Structure 1
Amino acid sequence: MIPVIFLPGMMCDARLFGPQINALSGRMPVMTFPLSRHDSVQAMADDILQNAPAEFALAGLSMGGIVAMEVLRQAPERVSRLALLDTNPLAEKPEVKARRAPQIAAVRDGNLRPVMRDEMKPSYLSDGPNRGAILDLCMAMATDLGPDVFLRQSQALMDRPDQSATLTAYTGKALVLCGQEDRLCPIERHQLMHDLLPDSALEIIEGAGHLPTLEQPQKTTAALIRWLEDT
């Protein structure tokens, strides 16, 4: 049985996929990998490949999707299926890199919580009934990971490559999914990935922003099950 590997977004851990792990763990092997030890997506992907099974289905959200695409670039023959959630296949634009510099400086000065609270978390979610609880969970994940992880992940995101050619070359079953109200990785980015991937389905989750795994867990899990079980 082929396992599924989940890769979390920036300053998140396996709790980002809690509802999906609960739903899928009785059906198949489920794994997650932390993206906390390295400051480049290439090194993160290499670490995953050194520790992952020979073949696996791969799902990544946000930064996890960026790392998933690098895993695919390095070892496409090992990725049986690919799911990209609320992510971006393109290299980081100069203006986005510039916005990271004051965040990095603030975190170095000991202000991780204010940066997460004031600059990052407000962009994550739609205005759903569970917004407060999900934001609390996001803060808990971020503070548990700590400022050094923030600095490494920020550097990795700034230096990431364009993966358009990687997606075009992949012939496996793919899912491209995003929250309808995702302001960080908007729908047009997902349409681009859907167009690049030869065998992909595009799912837009209503009532969700950047974290549909938590905002609309049942809809997101159902889409993942279709992707995993569709022949």
Structure 2
Amino acid sequence: MTLEPIVFLPGMMCDARVFEPQIIALGRERAVTVAPITVGDSIETIAQGLLAQLPEKFALVGLSMGGIVAMEILRRAPDRVSRIALLDTNPLAETPQSATIYEPWIIAARSGRLDDVLREMMRAEFLAQGPERMLVLNRFYAMAADQGAEVFVRQARALQRRRDLQSALRRCKCPALIMCGAEDGLTPVKRHQFMAELIPYAELRIIEGAGHLPTWEQPDQVTDALRSWMGQPFVLTA
């Protein structure tokens, strides 16, 4: 039997490194792909561009902004998504007030102060407390700096303008995993409980000892949850 491939969508200012433990573990069992979300300044444009490149059928894993793109892919091409896992993300559109937060960051990034922006965007309190917190945070800053200011601006614009994706979740008919770090200070557990309630038969997994980057903070827990989700049947019944 041919196993379906997994497509990983990294978060804002992230690349394949954010899924490295999962790629190594699950890549021994099936094909894995990391699809960049760096091209395009709207969620719709990013999703459409990826759909032109991805396999005909695939399992989809999205972290943070990657989860938002994953929901848009599900909205556009539900028949191509065999299953979906959404990690530390948000299906809601930005409010006019919250969208304005990005403007000073965009100006600062364009004026050469990307490092300052990254430290405002990803703060220590978004991650789990513990001795590894600063190590994970600095690892993120290094990865994000590699993406560059122009990627930041495009992704910020895409998030500013994103649509509400609750309806895509309500129509989801494939096995769905909603995962969140128990100490995520950016997209909290309550938001993920709400998401799981929108999707028929969705599984909710709260990762203890993790915040907004559980793939790094608790890699084994995340990998085990993904492996279990990949083992679920395609057809869900009550």
TM range (shorter): over 0.9
Question: In the alignment, what sits opposite 2:236?
Answer: none
Question: In the alignment, what sits opposite 2:165?
Answer: 163
Question: In the alignment, what sits opposite 1:222?
Answer: 224
1:40-59, aligned counterparts within 5 Å?
40-59=42-61
- The answer on whether the counterparts of 1:6 and 1:59 sit within 8 Å (CA) in structure 2 is yes
For residues 170 and 4 of structure 1, the distance between their equivalents in structure 2, rounded to whole angstroms, comes to 18
For residues 225 and 24 of structure 2, the distance between their equivalents in structure 1, rounded to whole angstroms, comes to 15
Residues 82-126 of structure 1, C-alpha deviation per residue, up to 9 Å, x if partnerless?
000000001012222121111111111110011112442434311
Cα distance change, pair 118–41 in 1 and its aligned pair in 2 (3 A): closer
Which 5+ residue runs of structure 2 have no aligned equivalent?
234-238
For residues 150 and 177 of structure 1, the distance between their equivalents in structure 2, rounded to whole angstroms, comes to 25
Match among 204, 209, 223 for residue 206 of structure 2 = 204
For residues 122 and 105 of structure 1, the distance between their equivalents in structure 2, rounded to whole angstroms, comes to 23
Give the deviation of 1:61 after TM superposition: 0.5
- The answer on whether the counterparts of 2:126 and 2:183 sit within 8 Å (CA) in structure 1 is no
For residues 118 and 194 of structure 1, the distance between their equivalents in structure 2, rounded to whole angstroms, comes to 29
Cα distance change, pair 178–67 in 1 and its aligned pair in 2 (3 A): same
Secondary structure of the residue that 2:59 maps to in structure 1?
Answer: strand
Match among 147, 150, 154 for residue 149 of structure 2 = 147
Secondary structure of the residue that 1:175 maps to in structure 2?
Answer: strand
For residues 7 and 79 of structure 1, the distance between their equivalents in structure 2, rounded to whole angstroms, comes to 13
Question: In the alignment, what sits opposite 2:81?
Answer: 79
Q: Answer yes or no: is 1:24 the counterpart of 2:52.
A: no
For residues 75 and 92 of structure 2, the distance between their equivalents in structure 1, rounded to whole angstroms, comes to 14
1:58-69, aligned counterparts within 5 Å?
58-69=60-71
- The answer on whether the counterparts of 2:42 and 2:157 sit within 8 Å (CA) in structure 1 is yes
How big is the alpha-carbon RMSD for the aligned residues of Structure 1 and Structure 2? 1.1
Question: In the alignment, what sits opposite 1:134?
Answer: 136
For residues 53 and 120 of structure 2, the distance between their equivalents in structure 1, rounded to whole angstroms, comes to 36
For residues 69 and 118 of structure 1, the distance between their equivalents in structure 2, rounded to whole angstroms, comes to 26
The structure richer in helix per residue is 1
Secondary structure of the residue that 1:60 maps to in structure 2?
Answer: strand
Question: In the alignment, what sits opposite 1:192?
Answer: 194
Q: Answer yes or no: is 1:10 the counterpart of 2:12.
A: yes
Which 5+ residue runs of structure 1 have no aligned equivalent?
none
Secondary structure of the residue that 2:100 maps to in structure 1?
Answer: helix
Question: In the alignment, what sits opposite 1:90?
Answer: 92
- The answer on whether the counterparts of 1:128 and 1:215 sit within 8 Å (CA) in structure 2 is no
Structure 2 counterpart of 1:53, one-letter code: P
TM-score by length of 2: 0.94
Equivalent residues, number: 231
- The answer on whether the counterparts of 2:136 and 2:216 sit within 8 Å (CA) in structure 1 is yes
For residues 131 and 83 of structure 2, the distance between their equivalents in structure 1, rounded to whole angstroms, comes to 33
For residues 94 and 177 of structure 1, the distance between their equivalents in structure 2, rounded to whole angstroms, comes to 27
Structure 1 counterpart of 2:52, one-letter code: Q
